[in-house]
Structure 1
Amino acid sequence: MSTQSSKKLVSQLCEACHVDAPKVSDEELKELIALIPDWVPQVRDNVMMLEREYKFKNYKLAWAFANKVSELAESEFHHPAILLEWGKVKVTWWTHAIGGLHKNDFICAAKTDELGE
């Protein structure tokens, strides 16, 4: 569920990201993660990512949500990992081009939360 503060992120658009774009700093990470408290920073293969699991009553509802996330990804031209299982969907955002987190990931995470409402 999005909070009033996450609305600040939702109103923004992803910007084109290139290989030398800056990763979020530790200070920015603290500020941005506070806006999307249900997301958990994870490090896999030395890459910082944002991850959240959404729960649903059945497979069909989870599948419909995964499709909405896919449509969001295409509209933002920023693509997460999506794991669809019975009754749950795990979404993981990170910026492939920089091998870590960019503000785009937080924007897309907040927009993903709105889809789950």
Structure 2
Amino acid sequence: MKKIEAYIRPEQLEDVKVALKSMNVNGISVTQIMGSGCQRGYREFIRGTEVDYNFLKKIKIELVVPDSRLEEILGKIIETAKTGKIGDGKIFISEISDAIRIRTGERGESTVR
């Protein structure tokens, strides 16, 4: 199993959710975060004072998927989250050694299907 952590633009969230739902992907966690990368934030003048906004609003999507579906799910996230501009985000992939469904005690890959 693999854990996907995708950091995307907030305005792309709905498109990514719809795309994943169309692929019957369940078990998605979404977190509103703030971060800084190549985009570097922006500057604004408020009441004559320059304010530097180093952190921008982003969305973090987390999901655990079977190894066999990893590439198709990654492809769909990239396809729907990509705008072609700096700040589109990043995706990180981690190995998950086990998963347990609390309700039944079931273990392994079947818990994420």
Tell me if both proteins adopt one fold, taking TM over 0.5 as the criterion.
no
TM-score, structure 2 normalization: 0.42
Structure in which a larger fraction of residues adopt strand: 2
TM-score, normalised with respect to structure 1: 0.41
Q: Which has more helix, going by share of residues?
A: 1
Larger radius of gyration: 2
